[in-house]
Amino acid sequence: MPTILYNTNSSLISKYRRSNASKPYKGLPSKKAHKRLSLPPDIFKEESGYTRNCNDDISFQSEFEKDSVGYLQDLCCSVYPSSLHQRIKNLRGSPDLQINAFIALIFKNFIKSWYGVKIPTNDSKFLTELYNLVQNLVKYMKNSQIDYGSLLLDYIPCLVSSHLKALRDCPQDTNLVYEHYCQLTLYDSKRYPGLFIDIIQNKMNTKSLLQRSFLDSFLNELVFGHILDSIIEPYHLLNGLNIICKKIKLRSAMNPKESSTDEKSKAGAWSFVGKIKHKISQVGKLVSYSTSMKSPNMDSTGIPEIPFLQRYIFTFILVDFFKLPMRKPFLFSMCRTFQCWISKSKFLNKMMYRMFANTAQAKITDPTILGGLFVSLRHSLFPNDSAMGPPKTIPIDDAFLEFRGECVSNVWDVCIAYRIDKILAIKKFDIEEVIHSLSKDRDCNKLLLYRAMDCVAAQLP
């Protein structure tokens, strides 16, 4: 990456010098200045003479359909210099093109707004180096072999278990939650995100102080700061859970159970036999799917020695989350007996590992799903594929308490609809406790995400 030098004798100084360039620098904006920036556009225009248009976010125009290959290529070409256009045209696979389109909009909003404007230059090497950096990181992650079995079946459940337990034990005082959470989980709050920034910079193996300083600010302030804080907000987690519960309730309402005794009598024994045949057919398809398809990293020599039902995720579900030993001791003993019997069968263990690889692992590693995730993220942050959209209004105080109560009611309705409350002896208070823990502190949820990323980073070469 070239070193940027500001030549005071350059002839471009007079060209790019602003009318107020001779005014002394007064430091960061004061509270009055922040208030001024929040004023309506007309007032802002009258005070400074600077024309600010609220409709500057003009939708990106392309001859191709939105989110198509041609559209994403045009979007990337509109940000990067012409020297990279041919390389961008060669990006056709998923998720490379979707990732580059998302990163290009970040560069457009947070890099090109000052490089070439506040720093007058026509040099394109800076954006070229940034593009190369993104390609190297994407290639590095695609070539890294990650043990998704241990990650999803052991590490993540263990982290979530300690996360929920620590949040339950934290005091109600919001000012002390994060401090006590760090003590209970034995994690230093200063460890992240510096750990990940050091890993990225070490993989680059650069000696450029400019490049290291830029990456440190870009990753620390923007990626792990502004963007991640917006994504990890507890409201978004509860809102997603709320939407899922509403869809389940709607689907349950559209397929009501037959309650008429006359209809049941007409169905007779043939209906019961048909239902049994349908269930057997579903089980047969599931077994065939789990054993016939060849999954990545799941050949005959790749089956772990640990029995599938002995992984920590089942302890998390039965003991840590639903607390069956206290609520349903007989049901818990039956589950443990079932675990013991199944774990002795190599065939059943192999089948369950195949099933896991063909479902959860296949979806995580599927390039189409990963590309769709970056498309959704781009739509959320950049609605018109131009400027970053305004942040979503998040309810606070009483409005947030009302929203959290609605989420608790929807989850409880789903439990009643599927009789989960009676099978697992769950009370509405238990749901309130979990929902309250998830929305207790944003920084605690952010630290949980950092710890999960730490598990992934530990498996990287």
- pLDDT tens for each residue of the chain, 461 residues long: 444 444 444 444 444 444 443 344 333 344 334 333 333 434 333 333 323 333 456 788 888 888 888 899 899 998 888 889 999 888 877 888 999 999 988 888 888 877 777 777 777 788 888 888 888 888 888 888 888 888 999 999 999 999 999 988 887 777 788 888 988 888 887 888 888 888 888 877 767 777 788 788 888 888 888 878 888 888 888 888 899 998 888 887 776 554 444 444 445 556 666 767 777 777 676 666 655 554 444 444 457 788 999 999 999 999 998 999 999 999 999 999 999 999 998 888 888 888 888 888 788 888 888 888 888 888 888 888 888 777 677 888 889 889 999 999 999 999 998 888 888 888 899 899 889 888 888 889 999 999 999 988 888 77
Q: Alpha helices, DSSP H only, in 120-176?
A: 125-143, 148-150, 156-169
* d(C-alpha 429, C-alpha 438), whole Å: 14
Domain span at residue 442?
A: 156-186+221-252+285-458
pLDDT, position 41: 38
93 and 227 in a single domain? The answer is no
pLDDT, position 120: 73
Single out the residue of 62, 65, 67, 95 nearest to residue 77, CA to CA. 62
231 and 313 in a single domain? The answer is yes
339 lies in some domain: yes
198 lies in some domain: no
216 lies in some domain: no
57 and 161 in a single domain? The answer is no
337 and 426 in a single domain? The answer is yes
A 10 A CB-CB count for 180 gives 17
pLDDT, position 255: 65
259 lies in some domain: no
pLDDT, position 2: 43
279 lies in some domain: no
210 lies in some domain: no
Q: What's the total number of domains in the chain? A: 2
Burial 190-200 (b: 16+ CB within 10 A, else e): eebbeebbeeb
The model's pTM: 0.73
pLDDT, position 408: 92
* d(C-alpha 74, C-alpha 96), whole Å: 14
231 and 96 in a single domain? The answer is no
pLDDT, position 159: 93
Tracing tokens 């440190």 back to the chain, one arrives at: 216
